[in-house]
Structure 1
Amino acid sequence: MDHEPPFLKTYSDLFRESQQLISPLVGDTRNYDNKFCCELPLIDLRKLNAEREIKEAARKWGFFQVVNHGIPQELLESLMREEMIQMFHRPFATKCQQHFLNNLSASASGGYRWGNPSATSLRQLSWSEAYHVFLPDIASMDHHTHPRSNLKCFATKATLLAERLAEILGQEVKIKSSYFQENCLPNTCFLRLNRYPVCPVPSKVFGLLPHSDSSFLTLVYQDQVGGLQLMKDGKWCGIKPNPQALLVNIGDLFQAASNGVYKSIKHKVLAAEKEERYSVAYFFSPSYDTVIESHGGGSPSIYRKFSFREYKQQADKDVRELGDKVGLSRFLL
């Protein structure tokens, strides 16, 4: 099919090497108990005790689900079943063309991407493709090649939800609501539209590599295929899709800003085995100049003060040199 990225051809050397080596690096990437699924906190945002439950879930889990979140179900389903399929099922050659993204920003973080061009082993390969779209760029997308109405509506409502959640969580650790309003702007927050093609070797590669998010908050809506896992008590556990809920997870920046009160949890996506998988993620992120400072509430600060630019530069350096993001441990006092 002409819309599929050429994974096997492009990474043929890695697959050839994996047949010759007997090493943990080429072992089963799934390494989890199929029966071990997380019962994530499910929070109804209309209930009176929702704020208390949000704070508790952020402390204990770093992940939680919300319903009655203000984003219409029909919008989510249309975006997932129609518009994203339309985008990703265009010819691969078309997706790779620079002009296909029309007037999208020239930021290195924006645009279409797939696989991992710097992978040196199968364990570093993500069997997925994605569009990274900054919020202002949605309006400038070519409507003949990109569906944008539902994207724009989703982004607008996700922004309001993220601001609401950040304000609730910020109150607990003495962060002023104006901090998020001033620093998390439309041109710093972005969407990641994900597709996970069916993989012929799902035990040898990841759908998305294990990682934590470099954001304050991430909102995720996933289809019913499943495959998202998080690390809980030293084990990988699956997250059962809930068609009515949005997933919310704490990012590295909120863990630092909360002085470790809230947890940014490592998570990953399994390679799709029998059916392609879709998800859409909204990243509530600040400008590069934003200063991240631990609000200890009387406790000694765990992390030193740093800018988001400094954090991103360090993370990019670690990925280039070590193959993975080291993260917040680089900024411990």
Structure 2
Amino acid sequence: MSESEISMDLESYPPIFRLPNIQTQIFIDSPVKESEPIPVIDLHCLNPSELGKACRDWGLFRLVNHGVPSTLLSQLHKHAKRLFSLSFESKQAIFTNPLYYLWGTTAITTSGTALMIGLQNIHWVEGFHFPLGQLSQFQPEDPILASLRLVLEEYGEHLCRLATTLFKAMAVELILDPKESKSHLAESTGFVRVYRYPLCSMANSPWGIDIHTDSSVMTILNQYEVGGLEVLKDNEWLQVKPIPDTLIVNLGDMMQAISNDKYKSVKHRVRLNKHTERISVGYFVFPEEGSVIRSSKYRPFTYGDFRAQVQQDIKTLGFKVGLDKFKHTLASSP
């Protein structure tokens, strides 16, 4: 993106992203290996054993033959770019409950709080939050948002299919109780997040989103042609490069707990690009609200319990503690 293009596009970014870059040090990229072959799972010939190995060793895999039309993925990207190109003020105005416009944070709290926490603590990302179960009830007046809603409804149907198919195979591999595990993934909880990351030169940090794990059962990501996703594997950071017609699936905290720590909730982060902005689309899905997760590693809890604890920890500690707050504590020896 040229300097003139950046200047023309600035009004589409949140005001805090438009401030002169005031960093006083040069960011030195931490060493990142070129990714070794990430496990590839073929949905046409889904093998629970291969799927289980990927979930145990990586907590992440590429999904091929997923059945999501490439034309639909292209339409979604095109509509997302048009929506992001609107002025910041326009985006704030057209997004009303149950949809949300986020910036400087990945939480569904008032995004304006990013202004109060300082440049060093914000996430250099803006995004749109779409709860799929409520899209059909929402009739936006803005034509760009209305067009995107229609595309998202079709996309959401495909992603629900993928998540359900993959979870059933995981439940088989883990030998989970069918009756109990049935409520551990609920299509009604699914939502889509569409993110835009600015150029690295606009930020006070090399990171769009710093190190974290997802709270979901699983996340299905389309990162299009611009990379930036990095995952932690055996204490080394690896790049997850975009490959056409593939999706990235990573496991979240709920799946780790459901599997009794046999599967891992993978740590990951997003690095800003030096040459172009990045748009990605993530689908997140969770257990039913009242579904109790039971395992030998953790005390029984629901996703609602987990979410409340995360919100409390962020408020009091400034960061997410996650599953460690729910681990069984061993009684002291006499």
Check whether TM > 0.5: yes
Look up the SS of the partner of 1:306 in the other structure: coil
Q: 1:66 to 1:177 in 2, by over 3 A?
A: farther
Aligned residue in 1 for 2:327: 332
1:308 aligns with 2:307: no
Aligned residue in 1 for 2:39: 41
Q: Which amino acid aligns with 2:41?
A: I
Which deviations, in whole Å up to 9, do the C-alpha atoms of 1:22-75 show, x marking residues without a partner? xxxx78474233x4324211122223x632211110011000011011211111
Q: 1:171-250 maps to which residues of 2 (within 5 A)?
A: 171-177=172-178, 179=180, 181-182=182-183, 184-200=185-201, 204-250=205-251
Give the superposition deviation at 1:183: 5.3
Two-structure CA RMSD over aligned residues (Å): 2.3
Gaps of 5+ in 1: 20-25, 295-300
Give the superposition deviation at 1:260: 0.4
Query: Aligned match of 2:71 in 52, 71, 74?
Result: 74
Which deviations, in whole Å up to 9, do the C-alpha atoms of 1:305-330 show, x marking residues without a partner? 11111111111111122222111111
Aligned residue in 2 for 1:32: 31
Q: Which amino acid aligns with 1:133?
A: F
Q: How does the TM-score come out when normalised to structure 2? A: 0.84
Moved more, 214-223 or 186-195: 186-195
Aligned residues of 1:28 and 1:203 also touching (Cα < 8 A)? no
Aligned residue in 1 for 2:95: 101
Which deviations, in whole Å up to 9, do the C-alpha atoms of 1:108-132 show, x marking residues without a partner? xx51101133574655321111111
In structure 2, what is the Cα distance between the partners aligned to 1:28 and 1:120? 21
Look up the SS of the partner of 1:76 in the other structure: helix
In structure 1, what is the Cα distance between the partners aligned to 2:87 and 2:119? 25
Q: 1:169 to 1:262 in 2, by over 3 A?
A: same
Aligned residue in 2 for 1:268: 269
In structure 1, what is the Cα distance between the partners aligned to 2:320 and 2:26? 21
Aligned residue in 2 for 1:22: none
Q: 1:322 to 1:205 in 2, by over 3 A?
A: farther
Q: How does the TM-score come out when normalised to structure 1? A: 0.85
In structure 2, what is the Cα distance between the partners aligned to 1:36 and 1:57? 19
In structure 2, what is the Cα distance between the partners aligned to 1:133 and 1:207? 20
Which deviations, in whole Å up to 9, do the C-alpha atoms of 1:57-107 show, x marking residues without a partner? 001100001101121111112211x1111111111101112xx125x42xx
Look up the SS of the partner of 1:268 in the other structure: strand
Aligned length: 307
Aligned residue in 2 for 1:298: none
1:7 aligns with 2:8: no
Q: 1:120 to 1:236 in 2, by over 3 A?
A: farther
Which deviations, in whole Å up to 9, do the C-alpha atoms of 1:259-317 show, x marking residues without a partner? 000000110101232111111111111233221112xxxxxx11111111111111111
In structure 1, what is the Cα distance between the partners aligned to 2:190 and 2:179? 16
In structure 2, what is the Cα distance between the partners aligned to 1:136 and 1:231? 32
Look up the SS of the partner of 1:53 in the other structure: helix
Q: Which amino acid aligns with 1:156?
A: E
Q: Which amino acid aligns with 1:93?
A: E
Give the superposition deviation at 1:247: 0.5
Give the superposition deviation at 1:133: 0.9
Q: 1:147-186 maps to which residues of 2 (within 5 A)?
A: 147-177=148-178, 179=180, 181-182=182-183, 184-186=185-187
Q: 1:327 to 1:236 in 2, by over 3 A?
A: same
Q: 1:79 to 1:259 in 2, by over 3 A?
A: same
Give the superposition deviation at 1:187: 3.7
In structure 1, what is the Cα distance between the partners aligned to 2:286 and 2:197? 24
In structure 2, what is the Cα distance between the partners aligned to 1:185 and 1:259? 19
Q: Which amino acid aligns with 1:290?
A: S
Q: 1:233 to 1:278 in 2, by over 3 A?
A: same
What percentage of aligned pairs have identical amino acids? 33
Structure number having the greater helix percentage? 2
